[in-house]
């Protein structure tokens, strides 16, 4: 059973300025609720009982906010001394995450659910014999706050490869994945991107994807935040 997650909450929120001048990005509010609480509520609904959150920028404010939650259990991975990027942050937190597979969740990713729960379906689809990582993928054409050309190709078995240069692919990474700790064996020291370990998993044909049933919203800029607010209000009216 997967019951542990990590939320990547240590980023500087540069693209979200001026909203992040006084608060860290995970505390920016969407539809009246902090972004990190959107993530925590969804993780809790999927049966996650323990969440590690890494902190760096305005760490005291994020920690103070998280002390107000009683469920799921929150554990802090402190990066005040040095920002370690996504991959380095996970490696730094591995002693807190344990030996079993765990979810990695970006602090700025939210979605409107379709039928059922996407995280629960991800957990059910996880196969540690075949997979080092399982990614949640959204259709780029129907996503909010995303204007790129897609991230991955996915074959009929769910195996992922990178989008090649000057090509488009329908699938974009929705900011959530399941990872096995073995994926970080011999990982670089210090700061590095998760892309490094994902590329190794791709080479071994052990990076898989599952499709989000819903509308993904990448809340990376103030404009994307406003667009997500409008979309959520529209869904509430419906």
Q: What percent of the chain has pLDDT over 70?
A: 99
Tell me phi and psi for residue 153, to 5 degrees: -95, 145
Per-residue pLDDT, 238: 63
Per mean pLDDT, which of 11-20, 27-36, 228-237 is the most reliable? 27-36
Average pLDDT, integer, range 50-67: 97
Per-residue pLDDT, 218: 85
Average pLDDT, integer, range 22-49: 95
Yes or no: say if 118 and 217 are a contact pair by the CB < 8 Å rule. no
Beta bridge partners of 159: 208
Per-residue pLDDT, 134: 98
CA dist 77 → 67, 163, 203 (Å): 14, 33, 30
Per-residue pLDDT, 151: 87
Enclosing H/E stretch for 210? strand 207-211
User: Which residues does 28 contact at the CB level (< 8 Å), separation at least 6?
Assistant: 13, 16, 19, 20, 34, 35, 219, 225
pLDDT digits (tens, 9 = 90+) for 107-148: 989 999 888 799 999 999 999 999 999 999 999 888 887 878
Domain ranges for the chain, please list them: 4-237
Per-residue pLDDT, 159: 97
Per-residue pLDDT, 147: 78
Per-residue pLDDT, 237: 66
CATH number of 4-237: 3.90.550.10, 3.10.580.10, 2.40.37.10, 2.50.20.10? 3.90.550.10
Average pLDDT, integer, range 233-237: 77
Dist. CA 100–CA 50, nearest whole Å: 13
Yes or no: say if 236 and 34 are a contact pair by the CB < 8 Å rule. no
pTM: 0.94
| Selected residue with higher pLDDT from 173 and 233 | 173
Per-residue pLDDT, 83: 94
Average pLDDT, integer, range 5-29: 94
pLDDT digits (tens, 9 = 90+) for 144-197: 878 788 889 999 999 999 988 878 888 999 999 999 999 999 999 899 999 999
- The position carrying tokens 């992040």 is 20
């Amino acid at each position: 059973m997967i019951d542990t997650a990590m939320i990547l909450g240590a980023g500087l929120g540069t693209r979200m300025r001026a909203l992040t001048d006084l608060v860290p990005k995970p505390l920016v509010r969407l539809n009246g609720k902090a972004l990190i609480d959107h993530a925590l509520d969804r993780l809790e609904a999927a049966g996650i009982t323990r969440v590690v959150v890494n902190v760096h920028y305005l760490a005291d404010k994020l920690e103070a906010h998280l002390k107000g939650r009683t469920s799921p259990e929150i554990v802090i991975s402190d990066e005040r001394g040095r920002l370690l990027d996504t991959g380095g942050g996970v490696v730094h937190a591995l002693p807190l995450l344990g030996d079993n597979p765990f979810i990695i969740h970006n602090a700025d990713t939210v979605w409107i659910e379709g039928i059922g729960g996407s995280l629960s379906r991800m957990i059910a689809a996880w196969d540690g014999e075949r997979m080092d990582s399982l990614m949640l993928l959204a259709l780029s054409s129907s996503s909010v706050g995303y204007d790129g050309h897609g991230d991955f190709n996915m074959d009929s078995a769910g195996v992922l490869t990178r989008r090649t240069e000057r090509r488009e692919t329908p699938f974009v990474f929705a900011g959530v994945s399941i990872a096995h700790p073995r994926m970080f064996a011999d990982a670089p020291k210090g700061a590095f991107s998760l892309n490094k370990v994902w590329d190794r998993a791709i080479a071994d044909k052990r990076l898989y994807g599952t499709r989000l049933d819903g509308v993904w919203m990448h809340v990376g800029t103030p404009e994307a935040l406003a667009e997500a607010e409008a979309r959520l209000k529209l869904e509430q009216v419906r």
